[in-house]
Amino acid sequence: MIEKFDPVLLARVQFAFTVSFHIIFPAFTIGLASWLAVLEWRWLTTGKTVYEEIYRMWVKIFAVTFGMGVVSGVVMSFQFGMNWSVFSDRTGNVLGPLLGYEVLTAFFLEASFLGVMLFGWNRVSPKMHFAATIIVALGTLISAFWILSANSWMQTPRGYLIGVDGLLYPTDWMKVIFNPSFPYRFFHMVTASYLTTAFVVGGVGAYYLYRNQHVKHARVMLGMAMIMAIFVAPTQAVLGDLHGLNTLKHQPAKVAAMEGIWDTQKGAPLKLFGWPDQEEEKTNYAIEIPKLSSLILTHNLNGEVKGLKEWAKDKRPPVAWVFWSFRLMVGIGVLMIFTGVTAAILFLRKQLFAKRWFQLWCVAMTPSGFISVLAGWFVTEIGRQPYIVYGVMRTVETVSPVMGSQIAMSLLAFIFSYFFIFGAGSYYILRLIGKGPDIQEQEYGTHGVKKPPLLTDLTSETGGKHV
Amino acid sequence: MFSLESFMDLPLIWYGLISTAIFLYVLLDGFDLGVGILFPFAPSESCRNRMMNSIAPFWDGNETWLVLGGGGLFAAFPLAYAILMPALYLPVVFMLIGLIFRGVAFEFRFKAIGKSRKFWDYSFHFGSLVATFMQGMVLGAFVQGIKIQGRSFGGGAFDWLNAYSVMVGMALVFGYALLGATWVIMKTDGITQDWARKCAGYVLGYVGLFLGIVSISMPMMNTDVKALWFSLPNFFYLLPIPLSTVVMFVMLWRGLIKGKEYLPFFLSIGVFLTGYVGLGISLWPWLVPFEVSFRQAAAAPESQSLLLIGTVILLPLILGYVAYCYYVFRGKTSDETLY
């Protein structure tokens, strides 16, 4: 009975669970590290302690998040071999060096200088500390470079040949690393991380403003976040469109699943909503906008869009997952752009920090980036199915010779541990947010620091006259 | 496609590099896992804070060597990676979960108050203990040999579980505890240091015992290993290894009694090094004992070449800035919250 667990399904679920859980943390830390570098730069150049106080608050949140990212990331370096050993054996020649470079160029850099960044305040000069922050931020980006190159190679494999022994051999490293979908995926993901961080920071700033706490700091947080929303959210839409066109060129079946289109047609409508039925080969209850899909995908009202029926049934991805994840991702992207536009209008009316409904809205948008990043990864990873290396290797062929019961047991252990850890981590992060920035006590009379205002004046920005 | 194959022995170089990475992992994470193993036995809360602070800036970097071990094995010897991971599936899972619970404790502990802090103390301790024990079991299973079928693991789900691997698991717990205790001697003073010195004395006895058992049992379990160590003239060539272990062991004992602060840690490293070299010689040339050699498991020369170029440039750089980070946090650690 115990042997009836399906190892392929369980391996899929386990890998999906561990990698989805892991990506939450880098999605946040990539953006946060860069933002911390900007904060420290502002602090060092302007000398305003508000930046330092914000830095010191967020670096603690960064530490908690990074810690969870590290421990869930160590798991990933074993997950390939544990669940997909045949895949590891066959693609090791091509993918191994990319992951090796990730460790050598990024992980050591991040891990080593994180110690200086967190604990080195009184042990290194401010400049060296700033350098450590920049190095950590660079490390997160370098890490993203290699892992997205490896992932993109699985989507659009190039620069290899299949040997007589069935193993893959590299023929051109530049083609392997800079495979066709890599630049798009890299910029799309890094931008997504920046937006994720921006909406978390903005949400926290808005929360403080709403509660009339830490107003000076909250303005900086919300202000900086909204700069990102105004300029970067629309940029992401453009990058996403380019990424989509690239996918259309190299993985048209994925795009057909994203659009829920079964029959190849000219002037294809955009299905806003609907219910794709894999068996019936149609999308039920669809709400459509005529010709829009063709316009988006081919930039021509009557362009031809390939439908899923072009591929044999066993070569199609699970359509409903891809279809809905895509809508979730794009939907949140639209809300982010909307937030940016609203922020711009409020700013021009000098009301950005005043409108309470906007503060509530920003609080509600806090988790939006995470959901969107996960949905996006669901689109690209499930959309690649039934292949593990697109067009080359099917996922079912590459599973490890491990009993289903073993995978089930370890899956349960991972689920339990991760939810526990995640719960505790979220709790501590929320508490750090609840506590807010520590205001530095300064000795007055030195370095031009004025006598502190009376307690009753502290919340008003203009302040009274101090004697 | 470039390849350095024609003028260097790539598989051998990579075998050396991966072995070095794993050894560095054992040393570096060894001492911080060891601190975790000893953690709840420390005499006071402020001792525990000091112990935690002494490794907080480093644990993350130390664990990266494990990722390099895993990632490097995948890159340089994908076949070995593809066989060993399924073969050691469950102990690796338990090790990872142990590492998760101890890793997050570093951050969570300082943020928790009251009872929940106690919880993270134990999470740190048991996480370290489980991770270490599982690494020992992995080693125990590894030296007993792995069954294969074609290019895959061919054994059962619980091949790794037997009295011998349990024994090696316990041995490693004491080994890491020794590294941890001598590290604490080096990084603290006062009652924390006194206590750590006492601990080091106790665990040193067990380390000696287990070293003896493993050294005797390895040749007894495998005739090839026996032939390697006990045939002439090999015996005389290899004799310096056990001899130097014994010498360092005695020096370590005396160093502890004399109250040396730095020497015990570096001698513990020495004991680990000779043990590791001895193990390496016994298992030569197997990467999956006793089925797949490092030459059979090697990735394509083009792949090994590409990563080798990067490693030659980056590894000295990494060692340099890792050393810098240890230098920044040199000296005795305080018990105050660091940030």
Half-sphere exposure of B77 (CA within 13 A, CB side): 28
Q: A445 and A305, same structural domain?
A: no
- pLDDT at residue A328, as a whole number: 94
Residue A258, token pair as written in the block: 């994203």
CATH of the domain at B237: 1.20.1630.10
Q: A294 and A153, same structural domain?
A: no
Q: A418 and A363, same structural domain?
A: no
pLDDT-derived band at A362 (thresholds 50, 70, 90) equals: very high
Q: In degrees to the nearest 10, what's the CA dihedral of A140, A144, A146, A149? A: -170
Residue from the list B57, B99, B322 with its beta carbon closest to the beta carbon of A74: B99
pLDDT-derived band at A67 (thresholds 50, 70, 90) equals: confident
Q: What is the C-alpha separation between B145 and A181, in angstroms, rounded?
A: 42
- pLDDT at residue A304, as a whole number: 86
Residue A446 pLDDT exceeds 70: no
- pLDDT at residue A458, as a whole number: 46
* Host H or E run for residue B149: strand B148-149
Residue from the list B64, B75, B338 with its beta carbon closest to the beta carbon of A100: B75
Q: A153 and A286, same structural domain?
A: no
Q: Give domain status of residue A240, yes or no.
A: yes
Q: Give domain status of residue A6, yes or no.
A: no
Q: Give domain status of residue B179, yes or no.
A: yes
User: Is A65 in contact with A450 (CB distance < 8 Å)?
Assistant: no
Measured between beta carbons, which residues in chain B are less than 8 angstroms from residue A96?
71, 74-76, 78, 299, 303, 307
Residue from the list B76, B83, B310 with its beta carbon closest to the beta carbon of A96: B76
Measured between beta carbons, which residues in chain A are less than 8 angstroms from residue B107?
63-64, 67, 425, 428
Q: Which of A8, A61, A94, A107 has the most B C-beta neighbours within 10 Å, making it the best mutation to test the interface with B? A: A107
pLDDT digits (tens, 9 = 90+) for B189-198: 899 999 999 9
pLDDT digits (tens, 9 = 90+) for B199-239: 999 999 999 999 999 888 888 888 888 888 888 888 888 88
Q: Which structural domain range is residue B113 located in?
A: 8-308
Q: In degrees to the nearest 10, what's the CA dihedral of B185, B189, B190, B196? A: -10
What lies within 8 Å, CB to CB, of A219 at 6+ separation is: A205, A209, A353
Measured in angstroms, the CA of A324 and the nearest CA of chain B are apart by 32
What lies within 8 Å, CB to CB, of B231 at 6+ separation is: none
Residue A139 pLDDT exceeds 90: yes
Number of folded domains that form chain B? 1
Average pLDDT, integer, range A133-162: 94
Residue A89, token pair as written in the block: 């054996």
Query: Could you tell me if B146 lies within 8 Å of chain A, comparing CB atoms?
Result: no
Angle at B94 between CA B88 and CA B96, to 5 degrees: 95
Measured in angstroms, the CA of A109 and the nearest CA of chain B are apart by 8
Q: A327 and A262, same structural domain?
A: yes
- pLDDT at residue A175, as a whole number: 93
Q: Give domain status of residue B317, yes or no.
A: no
**Strand intervals (E) in A175-329:** 265-266, 270-277, 282-289, 304-305
Q: A247 and A135, same structural domain?
A: no
Number of folded domains that form chain A? 2
User: Is B20 in contact with B65 (CB distance < 8 Å)?
Assistant: no
A422-431 — which CB contacts under 8 Å span 24+ positions?
Answer: A422/A21, A422/A68, A424/B104, A424/B108, A425/A64, A425/A65, A425/A67, A425/A68, A425/B104, A425/B107, A425/B108, A428/A64, A428/B107, A428/B108, A428/B111, A428/B112, A429/A61, A429/A64, A429/A65, A431/B111
Three state DSSP letters for B178-197: HHHHHHHHHHCCHHHHHHHH
Inter-chain residue contact B328 with A120, CB threshold 8 Å: yes
Burial of A287 from C-beta contacts in 10 A (0-12 / 13-18 / 19+): exposed
Half-sphere exposure of A151 (CA within 13 A, CB side): 19
Q: Which of B2, B64, B318, B327 has the most A C-beta neighbours within 10 Å, making it the best mutation to test the interface with A? A: B64
Query: Could you tell me if B181 lies within 8 Å of chain A, comparing CB atoms?
Result: no
Q: A418 and A383, same structural domain?
A: no
User: Is B100 in contact with A21 (CB distance < 8 Å)?
Assistant: no
Q: Give domain status of residue A457, yes or no.
A: no
- pLDDT at residue B338, as a whole number: 56
- pLDDT at residue A4, as a whole number: 64
Inter-chain residue contact B108 with A78, CB threshold 8 Å: no
Q: Give domain status of residue B323, yes or no.
A: no
Q: Among B337, B45, B96, which Cα is nearest to A63's?
A: B337
Q: Give domain status of residue B281, yes or no.
A: yes
Q: Which structural domain range is residue A91 located in?
A: 22-179+402-450
Q: Give domain status of residue B326, yes or no.
A: no
User: Is A170 in contact with B1 (CB distance < 8 Å)?
Assistant: yes
Name the residue type at position B265.
Answer: F
**CB interface of B with A, residues 1-20, below 8 Å:** 1
Q: Give domain status of residue A262, yes or no.
A: yes
Residue B149, Cα to own-chain centre: how many angstroms?
Answer: 29
Q: Dihedral sign, CA of B287, B127, B34, B208? A: negative
Measured between beta carbons, which residues in chain A are less than 8 angstroms from residue B153?
85, 400-401
Inter-chain residue contact B86 with A85, CB threshold 8 Å: yes
Count interface pairs A-B at CB distance under 8 A.
Answer: 242
Measured in angstroms, the CA of B37 and the nearest CA of chain A are apart by 18
pLDDT exceeding 90 applies to what percent of chain B? 58
pLDDT digits (tens, 9 = 90+) for B69-91: 888 898 999 999 989 999 999 99
**CB interface of B with A, residues 23-82, below 8 Å:** 56-58, 60-61, 63-64, 66-68, 70-72, 74-76, 78-79, 81-82
Query: Could you tell me if B209 lies within 8 Å of chain A, comparing CB atoms?
Result: no
Measured between beta carbons, which residues in chain A are less than 8 angstroms from residue B60?
66-67, 70, 111, 114-115
User: Is A263 in contact with A256 (CB distance < 8 Å)?
Assistant: no
Q: What is the C-alpha separation between B287 and B296, in angstroms, rounded?
A: 9
Q: A346 and A414, same structural domain?
A: no
Name the residue type at position A320.
Answer: A
Ranges A183-197, A280-294, A412-426: which has the least confidence: A280-294
Q: What is the phi/psi pair of residue B155, to 5°?
A: -95, -165
Residue B289, Cα to own-chain centre: how many angstroms?
Answer: 19
The H-assigned helical ranges of B3-145 are 10-38, 45-55, 59-76, 78-87, 89-111, 115-144
**CB interface of B with A, residues 296-315, below 8 Å:** 299-300, 302-303, 306-307, 310-311, 314-315
Q: What is the phi/psi pair of residue A265, to 5°?
A: -150, 155
Q: Dihedral sign, CA of B290, B293, B297, B303? A: positive
Is the peptide bond between B219 and the residue preceding it cis, with omega within 30 degrees of 0?
no
Q: What chain B residue is nearest to A111 in terms of C-alpha separation?
A: B61
* Residue appearing with tokens 């809205």: A361
Is the peptide bond between B289 and the residue preceding it cis, with omega within 30 degrees of 0?
no
Inter-chain residue contact A81 with B84, CB threshold 8 Å: yes
User: Is B86 in contact with B32 (CB distance < 8 Å)?
Assistant: no
pLDDT-derived band at B134 (thresholds 50, 70, 90) equals: very high
Q: A406 and A437, same structural domain?
A: yes
Q: A228 and A151, same structural domain?
A: no
Inter-chain residue contact A112 with B78, CB threshold 8 Å: no
Q: Among B72, B287, B275, which Cα is nearest to B176's?
A: B275
- pLDDT at residue B99, as a whole number: 93
pTM: 0.89
Q: Give domain status of residue A204, yes or no.
A: no
Q: What is the phi/psi pair of residue B77, to 5°?
A: -135, 65
Measured between beta carbons, which residues in chain B are less than 8 angstroms from residue A124?
328
Average pLDDT, integer, range A304-322: 89
Q: What chain A residue is nearest to B324 in terms of C-alpha separation?
A: A112
Burial of B257 from C-beta contacts in 10 A (0-12 / 13-18 / 19+): exposed
- pLDDT at residue B222, as a whole number: 84
Q: A272 and A362, same structural domain?
A: yes
Q: What is the C-alpha separation between A438 and B49, in angstroms, rounded?
A: 22
Query: Could you tell me if B22 lies within 8 Å of chain A, comparing CB atoms?
Result: no
What lies within 8 Å, CB to CB, of B326 at 6+ separation is: B58
Q: What is the C-alpha separation between B200 and B184, in angstroms, rounded?
A: 10
Residue B280 pLDDT exceeds 60: yes
Q: Give domain status of residue B77, yes or no.
A: yes
Inter-chain residue contact B86 with A400, CB threshold 8 Å: yes
Q: What is the C-alpha separation between A166 and A6, in angstroms, rounded?
A: 25
Residue B65, token pair as written in the block: 């060597």
Residue A143, token pair as written in the block: 């890490």
- pLDDT at residue A448, as a whole number: 45
Measured between beta carbons, which residues in chain A are less than 8 angstroms from residue B79?
89, 92
Q: Give domain status of residue A142, yes or no.
A: yes
Measured in angstroms, the CA of B19 and the nearest CA of chain A are apart by 15
Average pLDDT, integer, range B295-322: 91
Distances from the Cα of A191 to the Cαs of A15, A29, A194, A195, A465, in angstroms? 25, 12, 5, 6, 45
